[in-house]
Amino acid sequence: MPDEPILAWEVRVTETAARMLREISDARIRRKILDVIWDLKGQPDVKGKSLIGELAGFRSIRAVGQRYRILYRLEAAQVIVYVVAAGIRKEGDRGDIYKLAQRLVRLGLLGSESNPPEK
């Protein structure tokens, strides 16, 4: 039985995530994160892990030697991946990407508005 073709998802980066990416000063790290983001075009529902609690409905995938996380949400009916946040994982730190994302969720700022960064 031949393999079924993999459906390519459209990847959109929210303005919030684009701003977070621009704030990463090291261009090599930014490039590696963007490579992982664009790789979400293939099977984003299998990659990463589902989040729980306040971040339920979002998924997280590791990037750049496990230190960075990319948070995204799937719109399966429209075959769209919304990248909503990206940043460094610093457990217990105020700057931790998960803590920041929780604050953004409370403020209603993790929407699906998009502004694709250049690849």
Is position 116 within any domain? no
Distances in whole angstroms, Cα of residue 25 to Cα of each of 52, 86, 104: 30, 13, 22
Domain of 57: which CATH number? 3.30.2310.20
For residues 58 and 66, give the distance between their C-alpha atoms in angstroms, rounded to a whole number: 18
Q: What is the average pLDDT score of the chain?
A: 87
Range of the domain at 24: 10-106
This prediction's pTM? 0.85
Is position 112 within any domain? no
Is position 117 within any domain? no
Is position 100 within any domain? yes
Neighbours of 31 (CB within 10 A): 12
Over residues 92-109, the mean pLDDT reads 87
End-to-end CA distance of the chain: 36
Is position 4 within any domain? no
Interval 19-66: pLDDT, tens: 999 999 999 999 999 999 999 999 999 999 999 999 999 999 999 888
Is position 118 within any domain? no
Number of domains, the chain: 1
